[in-house]
Amino acid sequence: MTAPLAIELVGIDKRFGSVRANKDIDLKVAKGSIHGIVGENGAGKSTLMSILYGFYHADGGEIRVDGRPVTIADSQAAIALGIGMVHQHFMLVENFTVLENVILGAEGGPLLAGGVARARATLKRLAEDYDLKVDPDAVIEDLPVGLQQRVEILKALFRGADILILDEPTGVLTPAEADHLFRILKVLRDEGKTVLLITHKLREIMAITDEVSVMRRGEMVATRQTSKTSMGELAELMVGRRVLLEVEKQPASPGRPVLQVENLTARDGRGVDVVRDVSFEVRAGEIVGIAGVSGNGQSELLEAIAGIRPVRSGAVTIDGTRLDLARHPVDAAAMRRHGLAHVPEDRHRMGLVTSFSEYENAILGYHRDPAYGRGPMLDIGAIREAARVEIEKYDIRPPDCLLRTAGFSGGNQQKIVLAREIERDPVILLVGQPTRGVDIGAIEFIHKRLVALRDAGKGVLLVSVELDEIRALADRVLVMFDGRVVGERAPETDESELGLLMAGAAQEAAE
Amino acid sequence: MRAGQLPRWADYGLMPAINVVAAFLVSGLVVLLIGENPVEAVRILVWGALGWNEGIGFTLFYATNFIFTGLAVAVAFHAGLFNIGGEGQAYLGGLGVALACLALDRFVPWWVTLPVAVAGAAAAGALWALVPAYLQAKRGSHVVITTIMFNFIAASLMVYLLVNVMAKTGSMQPETRTFEAGGRLPLLQTILPGVDFGSAPVNLSFVLALLSCLLVWVLIWRTRLGYEIRTFGASPGAAVYAGISPVRITIVTMLISGGLAGMMAINEIMGSQHRLLIEFVSGYGFVGIAVALMGRAHPVGIILAAILFGILYQGGAELAFEMPAITRDMIVVIQGLVILFAGALEHMFRPLLLRLFGILAAPASKPA
């Protein structure tokens, strides 16, 4: 290889207690290239990047930036070396504006005024150069996740990053948004910047990277030129076996309606209607997918049906029981009693209490269930026993129900949620982003479980920003745009047609 | 073990121990500064609290107060609520105890009065926490602010009641009449044969405090309500997802917390003073915050922390007596240092300890 190296890692080692997260890692990233790093959850990608960004210190090995050996003591040092990072879980101050977040830690003096004016100008230029449009005065918590990510990228660029690390950047984006991101990354590369892209998604690797490195169980198992490898080879390297990217399923045989939504309207935190007059039904034995660019009301729709978000008008019927949610609000516990189960989009904020033990999370939402104790008491023995059964059945690893939930990988955390919700034998299951931040092995498992649930005669309402996932799993696809359901299609429908619907093309044509 | 986490024994045992030692070292420097011998001072303090029967009796008496106020803060902690109103809730608890005792002491034995007094103390304390709880749950007024305010209201209310309503006729003292035998708890030494605590007022309330610890442990870790409280405290989002009402949990938790604070008055009023008097809480409510912090909001930790503060109170009094250069205010400084290190600077030594454990753990895992 003749191109100069932006980053070279030699023999990086990192241990957490008895776990060796990184074993003797070597990595060479050429300047001005897009370098992908793939691997399952827990393979050590994030640890490696955290070492590069100064969050962790390697136990052994050497880091070279632009050929010079460096020690990166903290993220400030990384920034000084021109390394910028876009985290999987955003590092934004939620009640600050975009501008305030961007200048955080780079205020440029004790008085804000001058720095703010300069930052505003820089931000405007960056937004135009890279087509990263965000209202600088919008408050972060009001922005959809897609836009929050743009702020993260802007933050790194604002600090003059030459090397940009992106950790699972498309996990929250729609295909169109992801394409947009890729265009930006290509522009960055063409300007001589170096991009490190960490992802599970092989298609993205194939589409955008110049080189790709594969990690498995803390080791770097291979580095390939992207043009000389294939998705199949990469997948095999990642898991050590071939995986099916397709979901095997028989045609659906829908029965009676188990979930009917009538004219549902709900607001977000700002008081804006984000779900507008939505009506549809889900029948027993079918999976209905809701596709849409993130931030078009799908998340709020799920929350409204689940009894988490107040409803302004409309009604929901579960298995024949009609609930006028606007007039008689019902909480999540009551919804569960009616036979609704819910795998929420955000397992860290809602689906799990990460500081709890696994078995404690196995009853979240069902802790009033008579099976788990008598009267006001909880029967810890019975709960642990039930948790162990679920761990066994869902192959949750490590198989230890006493472990803190934060200690499980993303895929295993999702299995904990899924096991809890499916094992309650619901009539209708709501699933939001079932495979976000989940490794390939677990994705396959989760998809099979959802199809099995369908085949057992249950209804499944699936919201995902992964169009592939919706097309693979759903029997019918509803597309949401701007809070409304703008169309229904068969899952076999051409991706570009769905993309157009998701972008609101039908809406515009109708007006 | 995960990165950034200490083993449980280190988190619950070693960390507080290190903090206490640090507090004592700094206190030692202060003692040196005023020209006294710190080793001698520690000797007197420890001996004064633990070296003789009466000293132990006083230590346990003070510890009883701290257990109640510490539990009150701890229960609220588990729901993510910071109840600073223990002082006022305990004060009002005194009213509940006194009303029960004044009404019954002439007619029934103490063991009939006790349950009524406990109910009165808990109810009065809980009621005093109800308004802040309601305001937090329904209006979003922060309990930290409202409970502090309610401490002042409690103080004024009690002064008014004791001066204008409840004072003994013909007396200038702002206090009620002294309770008869039916309003007095037996001393521990009269229940336990062969134990002699001298004139120390440690009484049956100590047993009540230990029982409360057990009940709080059961509540938090073994009941559905406790599960809801912990879920709400750890993740309000997850609580709503689970169908747990934030309003209900906020109010219920604050009622329990206020009730526990109120029960402190059983020890002071029914166990020791035998009359309701002004300012009998004298800071126990506030120190309860430090006790809860130091005890990691766990009943066992709270018992240990409460005994430590009992030692400081009792040993401190002895120290002020034996070493005239060390005044009562110096004792407050030492207590303040313990609160500082155990509360505010609780995590100061954590990174150091983490690194130490990292170094120790690395070679151990090598063969694996």
State both tokens at A71.
């020690």
Closest alpha carbon within chain B to A407: B2
Read off φ and ψ for residue A14, nearest 5 degrees.
-150, 130
Phi, psi of A294 (to 5 degrees): -60, 140
Answer yes or no: are the C-beta atoms of B229 and B220 closer than 8 Å.
Answer: yes
State whether ipTM is beyond 0.95.
no
Distance CA B288, CA B90 (A): 11
Q: Give me the pLDDT at residue B93, please.
A: 97
Distance, in Å, from the CA atom of A317 to the CA atom of A281, rounded to the nearest integer, reads 9
**Below-50 pLDDT ranges, chain A:** 1, 242-244, 508-511
Task: Decide if B217 touches A, using CB distance below 8 A.
Answer: no
Alpha-carbon gap, residue B49 to B331, rounded angstroms: 13
Contact (CB<8Å) A365/B241: yes
B356 and chain A: CB distance < 8 Å anywhere?
no
User: What is A65-125 written as a DSSP string?
Assistant: ETTEEE---SHHHHHHTTEEEE-SS----TTSBHHHHHHTT---SS-HHHHHHHHHHHHHH
Q: Both tokens of residue B83? A: 């109840």
Partnered with residue A475 across adjacent β-strands are none
Question: For B288-319, b where at least 16 C-beta lie within 10 A, e where not — what string?
Answer: bbbbbbbbbbbbebbbbbbbbbbbbbbbbbbb
Summarised one tens digit per residue, pLDDT across range A331-371 is 999 999 999 999 999 898 999 999 999 999 999 999 999 99
HSE of A144, CA atoms in CB hemisphere, 13 A: 17
Domains and CATH numbers, chain A: 5-239 (3.40.50.300), 257-356+414-510 (3.40.50.300)
Residues from chain A that touch B217, judged by Cβ atoms under 8 A, are: none
The CB-side HSE value for A389 (13 A sphere, CA atoms) comes to 10
Residue B216's pLDDT band (boundaries 50, 70, 90)? very high
- Residue B243, chain A, CB below 8 Å: the answer is yes
Token pair for A440? 């390939």
Q: A163-167 and A83-86 as β-strands: parallel, antiparallel, unpaired?
A: parallel
Residue type, B242: A
Those residues whose C-beta lies under 8 Å from the C-beta of residue B362, and which sit 6 or more positions away, are A15, A59
* Residue ranges per structural domain of chain B: 67-310
CA distance to partner chain A, nearest, from residue B361 (Å): 6
Question: What are the residues whose beta carbons fall under 8 Å from the beta carbon of B167, sequence distance 6 or more?
Answer: B173, B174, B175, B176
Pairing between strand A287-291 and A163-167? unpaired
Stretch (H or E) spanning A170: none
Instruction: Please judge whether B230 and A356 are an interchain contact, meaning their C-beta atoms are less than 8 angstroms apart.
Output: yes
pLDDT tens string A402-434: 999 988 888 899 999 999 999 999 999 999 999
Q: What is the distance between the alpha carbons of residues A494 and A177, in angstroms, rounded to a whole number?
A: 18
Main-chain phi, psi angles of A168, to 5 degrees: 50, 55
Radius of gyration of chain B (CA): 22
Which chain A residues have a beta carbon less than 8 Å from that of B244? 333
Considering only alpha carbons, which residue of chain B is nearest residue A370? B224
Asked whether the beta carbons of A26 and A10 are under 8 A apart, the reply is: yes
Q: How far is CA A211 from CA A31, A34, A222, A493, in A?
A: 12, 7, 11, 32
Cβ A356–B237 below 8 Å, yes or no? no
Angle, vertex CA B10, rays to CA B5 and CA B13, nearest 5? 140
In eight-state DSSP terms, residue B170 is: T
The pLDDT value recorded for residue A76 is 86
E strand map for A168-246: 194-199, 211-216, 219-225
End-to-end CA distance of chain B: 15
What is the torsional sign of CA B255, B259, B262, B264?
A: negative
Q: B317-323, long-range: CB within 8 Å, 24+ apart, which pairs?
A: B317/B48, B317/B58, B318/B44, B318/B45, B318/B47, B318/B48, B318/B49, B318/B55, B319/B41, B319/B44, B319/B45, B319/B48, B322/B44, B322/B48, B323/B36, B323/B40, B323/B41, B323/B44
Instruction: List the single best residue of A343, A378, A379 to mutate versus B (max B Cβ within 10 A).
Output: A378
Q: DSSP state, A251? A: P
pLDDT average, residue stretch B88-94: 97
pLDDT of residue B366: 43
B360 CB burial (10 A radius; 0-12, 13-18, 19+): exposed
Which pLDDT score is estimated for B308? 92
For residues B92 and A21, the model is more confident at B92
Phi, psi of A304 (to 5 degrees): -65, -45
From edge to edge, which strands make up the β-sheet containing A484-489?
Answer: A340-343, A428-432, A459-463, A287-291, A476-481, A484-489
Nearest to A378 among B222, B231, B364 (CB): B222
Token pair of A352, please? 């799990």
Whether A485 and A314 have beta carbons less than 8 Å apart is answered as: no
Residue B197 near residue B189 (C-beta atoms within 8 A): yes
Task: Report how far residue A246's alpha carbon sits from residue B344's, in angstroms, rounded to the nearest whole number.
Answer: 55
The answer to whether residue B1 scores a pLDDT higher than 50 is no
Tell me which DSSP letter residue A404 carries.
Answer: B
Q: Do B242 and A365 touch (CB under 8 A)?
A: yes
The whole-angstrom separation of Cα A243 and Cα A398 is: 22
Q: Which residue has the tokens 């004219």?
A: A263
Chain B interface includes A382 (CB < 8 A) = no
Average pLDDT over all residues of chain B: 91
What is the spatial distance between Cα B16 and Cα B53, in angstroms, rounded to a whole number? 27
Considering CB atoms only, which of A15, A344, A377 is closest to B241?
A: A344
Distance CA(A413)–CA(A436), nearest Å, equals: 11
Beta bridge partners of A437: none
Q: Which of A360, A487, A435 is nearest to A200 (CA)?
A: A435
Write down the residue that tokens 């559905």 correspond to: B224
Token pair 């001066």 is found at: B163
Partner-chain contact B241 A331, CB within 8 Å: no
Per-residue model confidence (pLDDT) at position B117: 97
Q: What are the residues facing A340 on neighbouring strands?
A: A428
First to last CA, chain A: 56
Contact B63, B310 (CB under 8 A): yes
CB pairs under 8 A between A and B: 89
pLDDT at A234: 81
Kindly state the helix (H) or strand (E) to which residue B216 belongs, with its residue range: helix B205-222
User: Within 10 A of A322 (CB to CB), how many other CB atoms are there?
Assistant: 11
* Chain B residues lying within 8 Å of A16, measured CB to CB: 1-3
Q: d(Cα A61, Cα A11) in Å, to the nearest integer?
A: 4
Please tell me the distance from the alpha carbon of residue A50 to that of residue A164, in angstroms, as a whole number: 13
